[in-house]
A and B are shown apart, each in its own frame.
Chain A
Amino acid sequence: MKATQRPGRKAALPEGGPLQKAGSAEQADERALVEAAQTDPAKFGALYEMHFERVYAFIASRVRDRATAEDVTSDVFHKALANLTRFEWRGVSFAAWLLRIAANAVVDQAKRVAREFPSPEDPAELVADPGLRPSELRAIENHARLFRLVGQLPEAQRQVVHQRFVDQRSIREIAGRLGKTEGAIKQLQLRALERLRAQMESGHV
């Protein structure tokens, strides 16, 4: 995983933007799901399915490594579940609410690291709150969409993408595991990337 951007965003999200369009069919569905889960927490799973990639994309782009991304993501969903009944519809979508929790969790995590490993950098900067710009929100949505599209790849391509990018295995190792030639694995990798790019460009969800 790459070196991180320095975390420095907290709470407030801008008005408007792709996560806060009111009145869309998706938001109506989401509202029904939220209300169902507020009544019966066992239904939280549907909200998790809907927002996992978004939350993970937000966090992964702001922390140092995969293990931290997973810890913080886990923390965010547990907090969201515990506070679900406190969420109210006041012009902020559920997605924006989750990202607010995520933003705070990222800052908390960075503060913990700063305490454990002090550096010349002033930790006070970590709470500076510029909010998320619409371009940042768009980037999160795009990353989340790409993650979802990976799940829809043909099985062989999906396996190669996961083994290459998530497990960070070499082409040779993947070839051995999948019983194919290295050339075939490179082709599958190429086809997967081409397909993902085409679907991202076509707005395929």
Chain B
Amino acid sequence: MSKRPLSEQVDEAVQAMLVSLRPRPERDPSPSLAVLVPIAQVLRDLPRESFRIALKSDLQRRTSMNEAVAPSPERSLHYMRPGFTSITPYILVAGGTRFVEFLKAAFNGVERLRVPAPDGTIMHAEVAVGNGMIELGDANDQYPATPVTLHHYVDDADATYTRALQAGATSIYPPTDDHPSGDRWGAIQDQFGNRWYIATPKGWTPGPKGLRSIQPYLHLRDAHKMIPFLESAFSAEALGVHKSPEGHVLHATIRIGNATLEIDEAHGEFQPMPCYLHIYVPDTDALYAQALRAGATSVEAPTNKPYGDRAAGVKDPFGNSWFIATYLGK
């Protein structure tokens, strides 16, 4: 009589273990079985992933509220909600829950916060990706989906590209060393219409703090006009501007506060995708007024929000919406 497959023997041992029974002795036990059982026994204590994440989120929330912890005199960027940088993309998406799962599977995203709506959709969620953050909410009739283009810097573009495809994204092009930036660079589109440039930098980093893992990437018509607008509206700084002989912006990196975004002239299939951006600034009221003077239109005047930010909203001449916020904290 042939021996039962090892996978069957192992499963019987696991099943017995899970219901605390003594497994039926194998008539002809595989030696491989005996060495796997101790591993399985320890796995009964494996922590729930959701618990691990929820506790971290809980602890972070507590530090952000400064409850029962030491003061932090060296935190210079007091006007940002902890965990945030100056620029965070805010994505309205059809299928928020699935999008969060995608961010976890493809990019090792860590869910920091989820505020559900009464109907079970996501009113607001925050997912940390690398040293950056993505905010999202479920789209609805009033606020339709706004897919974005993001630049995601990683240590291994090929591995991340592969994981993204495994998580359901489709390839735009695989990572190549031939990209004009000199970085190893690939592109994908996720199931929600967002586009991701996945890149491993090679020797070039903007700003003193190094690369942000997540940078919004805006394809714009008349992109060259965006640079002076951002400079005057948000006190932005252009860190590198490459133009074609005709004056089109081939690529520019723009810094606001401690973070960066990128722009270029829309081309081919890479057309404008107006999006929402969330920027933390030292003084919302001042920057809101400054943005309006620079040509932005008001969406919402500054108010104190119940979640502890003072926030306002403006729209730029290119159709992008900007949440301007100051973390009130404390």
Contact = CB atoms under 8 A, between A and B. Distances in A.
A41 to B, nearest CB: 4
Contacts of A45: 56, 59-60
B281 to A, nearest CB: 19
A151 to B, nearest CB: 8
Counting contact residues on chain A (CB < 8 A from B), the size range is 35 or more
A89 B60 CA distance: 24
Contacts of A77: 55, 59
A161 to B, nearest CB: 6
A186 B7 contact: yes
B18 A171 contact: no
Interface in A27-59: 38-42, 44-45, 48-49, 52-53, 56-57
Interface string A152-169: 000100000110111010
B113 to A, nearest CB: 13
Q: Which of B10, B32, B59, B83 has the most CB of A within 10 A?
A: B59
Contacts of A126: none
B48 A70 contact: yes
B35 A197 contact: yes
A150 B74 CA distance: 37
Contacts of A49: 56
Main secondary structure of the interface of A (DSSP, over half): helix
Interface string B31-66: 010011001111111111101100110111011101
Nearest to A170: B15
Given A70-B51, A146-B39, A190-B10, A165 B46 contact: yes
A62 B44 CA distance: 13
Given A3-B20, A165-B40, A186-B11, A84 B46 contact: no
Given A45-B56, A74-B55, A143 B42 contact: yes
A44 to B, nearest CB: 6
Contacts of B32: 194
B39 A155 contact: no
Nearest to A60: B45
A194 B55 contact: no
B133 interface: no
Nearest to A73: B55
Interface string B59-78: 11011101011101111000
Interface string A87-104: 000000000000000000
Contact of A150 (B43, B58, B83): B43
Contacts of A127: none
A150 B59 CA distance: 24
Given A53-B47, A165-B44, A200-B39, A42 B56 contact: no
A81 B62 contact: yes
15 contacts: A3-B20, A39-B70, A41-B72, A42-B75, A42-B82, A48-B55, A48-B56, A69-B47, A81-B63, A84-B69, A150-B46, A161-B43, A162-B48, A164-B14, A190-B7
